[in-house]
Structure formats: structure tokens, C-alpha cells
Amino acid sequence: MTPAIADTIAREGPLPLARAMALAADQYYAMREPFGPSGDFVTAPEISQMFGELLGLWLADMWQRAGSPSPVLLVELGPGRGTLMADALRATARAAPGFAQAARLHLVEKSPRLRAEQARKLPGASWHETLTTIPCDAPILLVANEFLDALPLTQFERTDEGWALRRVGTDGWDLAMAANVAFIPEALRNAPPGSVHERNFASEALVSGVAKRLAAQGGAALFIDYGYKGPALGDTLQAIGGGAFADPLATLGEADISAHVDFGAVGRAAAAHASLFGPQAQGQFLDALGIAERAERLKAMASIETRAEIEAARVRLVSVGAMGRLFQAMAIVAPGWPAPAGFPT
């Protein structure tokens, strides 16, 4: 735990987990290089160019089948080092004539250090701290990869006296009794003592806001993250530092902290305003988009060593034992827009 977070707890007392996570994220991303082989973790765009290329073609396909509106707002939440969007725009340059010219690129990123790195790969982009400052005058095509998992999480724990709110103290967990039982799904309210239920109110609010925007402006959004379809019990809070799992509370602000996404909850938040597709396992989604064919084309132009690397990356992205089943894809589409590729109809 960083001294700044420890000092905050000492002054104010135990913090709700969501507030502690927000403070930790601000400090971690300001001080650390989290992405890539030298960072704490490797995301799908850094594993292979195929990931960003296929997502770019997904976005361009939606744009073409919706009548190629111009302008169109191309939005990424949490762009990391800009790798995904750079690969996406490169792939669409020939496959979707006019798409790059119609697109107005908007990136939601708080970190000045990451913004500077993104600017080197994505000249001409506009940056925002939140979605609220993105224009409202054109359709939106939005992508968010491993973004929802890092948003501040709320945890509830069942005790002998009822449900309690989990808070972070200087020595570990602290419980605030009499949590609002309305936040606990009815099917889980009588869970045995010691059970934990998670709600990511920030994710639900963000996805609901995106769906409202799509309903008003037109467009589509694609969210990819690791998670499950709840409601469910379980503590999924985790931290990764130096490429290894760490104690989430002990390393607050010093390691990447995240939790699995409840696609059931965020899906319900979106479905009230726009059409919902998925969640669909990432492996099935990428297979449907043609990752095997793309890998073969790349291997045809590569050395023997590089061919092996391309195939290993494809397997890592789609296999059940790696990212293929744990990671899920979910699309939100404006009323009147076409059904998205990659999802069962």
C-alpha cells in the first residue's frame, strides 16, 4: 500500500473498496509502465496485431453496413499504449475505403504519460478524461478492451447478522454493517456467512451511459474483458505486480488491481436502452471474425520462427486454456443499426 493511501485511511478511517481502488489506480498508472513484456501484464493487442486488426475490421464493417455515415466518432476507452487502435486503423485503410477519412478519433485516457505515448502512434486524436466531453453530433463506434475490469468495485460480505459493506483498513478488511440489501440479488440474499458478492456500479453506469448515447446518436460499442455472466457469489479481486499475482490490499497503488466483470449486470444496464449481443467467449468471437485465416496470411509472409510466434499468439487468444473462454465479448448496438459480426443471431 502506498504511503498516500495509508495516510488517507489514517485520516478518514476505513475506505469503501471502490474509493480505495480509484485512489490506487490513479497512483499506479501515474507511476508505472503496466503494459507489455517489461510491464506488469500483457493485454491482447500487445500479444498480436491480429487482435486490433480484427476489431478494426469489426468497427469498419458496422460503419459500412450502417450506410457509411460521415463523420463518425471513433472512440476507445483506456487505449493503453495505442496499439489496438493503431492496428485497427492500419487494417481498415485498404479494407474499408473512406473509413479513416470519416472517423474522428477520441480517446478516453486520464494518464498524461500514456496520452503522450498514444499521441506518437495516433496523431490527430482528441483526448478526454471521461465520456461526457465527447461530442454528441455524430454516430459513435466505441471499443473498450480490458477497461471495465479496472473500474472501482464494491464488495458485500454476508455475516451472521446480515450483509455488510467491505471496506479497506490499514490492517486489511473492515466491515460496515447494515449494507443495503437491495444491492444483493434476491437469489443470493440467504447465502451462508462468509459469502462475498460483487457489484461494479461504475461499470454498470458507464455501460448504461454508452447505451443511452447510442440510442440518441446511433452507432455500436464493443466491450471485451475477462468475466462471467452473473449474478454470482465470489471474491474476484486481484492484483498483478511484476508479472505475478500479489495481495490486492497490501499492494494498493503499487500493482494493477482489477476484478472480473459481471456481464450479466452490465448487460442488463445496457439492454434498457439499446440492443445487446453477447456475452460471447473471446475465442468464439475471434474465430467468427476470421483470426485463423488472418494468421495463415501472416504466416505465409513470415520466417519459420515468426510463423511459430504467430500461431502461438493465435492459440493464446482463442484457446479455452488461455484467454479464449475467460475473456468475453459484448456488443451494444443502436436501434435500427445492423446486427454485429461475430455474435450468434
pLDDT 10s digits, 175-231: 998 778 999 999 999 999 999 999 999 999 999 999 999 999 999 999 999 999 999
pLDDT 10s digits, 245-278: 999 999 999 999 999 999 999 999 999 999 999 9
With cut-offs at 50, 70 and 90, classify the pLDDT of residue 34: low
Judged on CB neighbours under 10 Å (0-12, 13-18, 19+), 238 is middle
- Angular region, 242: left φ>0, alpha ψ -120 to 50, beta rest: left
Q: What pairing do the DSSP bridges indicate for beta strands 238-241 and 219-228?
A: unpaired
Question: 116 Cβ partners below 8 Å, 6+ apart?
Answer: none
Cell of 208: 448504461
3-class state of residue 193 by DSSP: coil
Instruction: Count Cα atoms within 13 angstroms, Cβ side, for 151.
Output: 23
Residue 244 CB: number of other CB atoms within 10 A? 9
Class of domain 3-153+197-290+328-333: alpha beta
Average pLDDT of 239-244? Answer: 86
Q: What CA–CA distance (Å, rounded) separates 143 from 137?
A: 19
Alpha helices in 67-192 (DSSP H): 83-95, 99-102, 112-121
Cell of 247: 495481495
Average pLDDT of 282-288? Answer: 98
Q: What CA–CA distance (Å, rounded) separates 50 from 43?
A: 13
Cβ(281)–Cβ(327) under 8 Å? Answer: yes
Instruction: Write out the H or E segment, with its range, that includes residue 299.
Output: helix 291-300
Q: Taking the model in full, what pTM does it have?
A: 0.95
| Domain edges within the chain | 3-153+197-290+328-333
Q: In whole angstroms, how far apart are CA 156 and each of 173, 202, 233?
A: 11, 15, 10
Q: What are phi and psi of 93, to 5 degrees?
A: -55, -45
Q: What CA–CA distance (Å, rounded) separates 148 from 210?
A: 13
Looking at every residue in the chain, the average pLDDT score rounds to: 95
Cβ(331)–Cβ(221) under 8 Å? Answer: yes
Average pLDDT of 122-135? Answer: 96
Cβ(110)–Cβ(43) under 8 Å? Answer: no
With cut-offs at 50, 70 and 90, classify the pLDDT of residue 10: very high
CA angle 57, 310, 125 (to 5 degrees): 40
Q: What CA–CA distance (Å, rounded) separates 172 from 177?
A: 16
Question: 6 Cβ partners below 8 Å, 6+ apart?
Answer: 170
